[in-house]
Amino acid sequence: MISKENQCFQKVRLQQHCGMRKLVHKPLVDKILRVKYCWIEKVGSSFMKSFFKQFHKYTLERNTTLHHQSKHGSTDKDLNQQHKGDNFTRIMIVRDPFERLLSGYIDKFFLPSPIFWKKRGRYIIKQFRRNSSVKEQSCGHNVTFLEFMQYVVHVASREKNMEEPHFTPMHTHCKPCLIRYDYVWKLETIMQDFKHTIKHLINMKDHHIDGFNFRMDKEHLSSDVISRIAFMFERRYDIEKCISFYEACLRTWRGFQMRGVIDKNHNFPLLSLPENFNVTMYKDLVLKSSNSIKNNSKVRSQKEEAFLESYSLLPLELLDRLERSVTNIDSDMFNYRQSLKILLQDYKRDNFSYFDFL
Query: Which DSSP string corresponds to 75-143?
Result: -HHHHHHHHTT---EEEEEE--HHHHHHHHHIIIIIS--HHHIIIIIHHHHHHH-TT--HHHHHH----
> Does residue 82 fall inside a structural domain?
yes
> Does residue 117 fall inside a structural domain?
no
Whether residue 13 is predicted with pLDDT greater than 70 in this model: the reply is no
Q: Which of 249, 281, 300 is the last residue of a domain?
A: 300
Which of 163, 196, 176 minimizes the C-alpha distance to 27?
176
Partners of residue 186 on adjacent β-strands: 94
> Does residue 40 fall inside a structural domain?
yes
What is the spatial distance between Cα 279 and Cα 167, in angstroms, rounded to a whole number?
29
> Does residue 104 fall inside a structural domain?
no
Query: Are 13 and 65 in the same domain?
Result: yes
Question: Poorest-confidence range of 5-19, 34-48, 147-161, 237-251?
Answer: 5-19
Whether residue 133 is predicted with pLDDT greater than 90 in this model: the reply is yes
What is the spatial distance between Cα 24 and Cα 173, in angstroms, rounded to a whole number?
5
Whether residue 14 is predicted with pLDDT greater than 60 in this model: the reply is no
Domain assignment of residue 254, given as a range: 223-300
Whether residue 204 is predicted with pLDDT greater than 90 in this model: the reply is no
Strand order in the sheet with 183-186: 66-68, 27-30, 35-38, 89-94, 183-186
Query: Are 203 and 232 in the same domain?
Result: no
pLDDT digits (tens, 9 = 90+) for 111-131: 999 999 999 999 999 999 999
Most confident of 139-143, 175-179, 211-215: 139-143
Whether residue 218 is predicted with pLDDT greater than 80 in this model: the reply is no
Query: Are 250 and 176 in the same domain?
Result: no
Q: Which of 275, 300, 325 is the last residue of a domain?
A: 300
Whether the Cβ atoms of residue 114 and residue 235 lie closer than 8 Å to each other: yes
Partners of residue 94 on adjacent β-strands: 186
27 backbone dihedrals φ, ψ, rounded to 5°: -75, 150
Q: How many other C-beta atoms are found inside a 10 Å radius of the C-beta of residue 43?
A: 27
Residue 105 banded pLDDT, cuts 50, 70, 90: very high
Residue 41 banded pLDDT, cuts 50, 70, 90: confident
The number of distinct structural domains making up the chain is: 2
Q: How many other C-beta atoms are found inside a 10 Å radius of the C-beta of residue 3?
A: 9
Whether residue 331 is predicted with pLDDT greater than 80 in this model: the reply is yes
- Between these two residues, 75 and 292, which has the higher pLDDT value? 292
Helix locations, 189-324, DSSP H:
190-198, 204-207, 223-234, 236-239, 245-258, 279-291, 296-300, 302-312, 316-322
Question: Poorest-confidence range of 183-187, 204-208, 212-216?
Answer: 212-216
Query: Are 293 and 176 in the same domain?
Result: no
Residue 24 banded pLDDT, cuts 50, 70, 90: low
Query: Are 265 and 234 in the same domain?
Result: yes
Which of 53, 39, 42 minimizes the C-alpha distance to 181?
39
Residue 352 banded pLDDT, cuts 50, 70, 90: very high
Whether the Cβ atoms of residue 151 and residue 129 lie closer than 8 Å to each other: no
Q: How many other C-beta atoms are found inside a 10 Å radius of the C-beta of residue 266?
A: 18
Whether residue 209 is predicted with pLDDT greater than 50 in this model: the reply is no
pLDDT digits (tens, 9 = 90+) for 140-155: 999 999 999 999 999 8
**Mean pLDDT, range 245-254, rounded to an integer:** 98
Q: Looking at residue 62, what is its pLDDT? A: 44
> Does residue 160 fall inside a structural domain?
no
Q: Which of 300, 327, 351 is the last residue of a domain?
A: 300
DSSP-derived secondary structure for 302-345: HHHHHHHHHHHTS-HHHHHHHIIIIIHHHHHHTT--S-SHHHHH
Query: Are 233 and 92 in the same domain?
Result: no
Whether residue 245 is predicted with pLDDT greater than 60 in this model: the reply is yes
pTM: 0.82
- Between these two residues, 194 and 17, which has the higher pLDDT value? 194
Helix axis angle for 223-234 and 245-258, nearest 10°, is 160
| Cβ contacts of 324 within 8 Å, gap of 6 or more | none
Query: Are 92 and 231 in the same domain?
Result: no
The one-character DSSP state at 68 is: E
90 backbone dihedrals φ, ψ, rounded to 5°: -105, 130
| Cβ contacts of 116 within 8 Å, gap of 6 or more | 108, 109, 140
Q: Looking at residue 67, what is its pLDDT? A: 52
Query: Are 16 and 90 in the same domain?
Result: yes
Query: Are 185 and 229 in the same domain?
Result: no
**Mean pLDDT, range 147-175, rounded to an integer:** 82
pLDDT digits (tens, 9 = 90+) for 280-309: 999 999 999 999 999 989 999 999 999 999
> Does residue 296 fall inside a structural domain?
yes
> Does residue 142 fall inside a structural domain?
no
Q: Is 176 helix (H, G, I), strand (E, B) or coil?
A: coil
Query: Are 196 and 227 in the same domain?
Result: no
Q: Looking at residue 77, what is its pLDDT? A: 43
Partners of residue 286 on adjacent β-strands: none
Query: Are 14 and 92 in the same domain?
Result: yes
> Does residue 312 fall inside a structural domain?
no
Which of 154, 152, 181, 183 minimizes the C-alpha distance to 169?
152
Query: Are 192 and 230 in the same domain?
Result: no
Quick one: residue 162, left, alpha or beta (phi over 0 = left, psi -120 to 50 = alpha)? Answer: beta
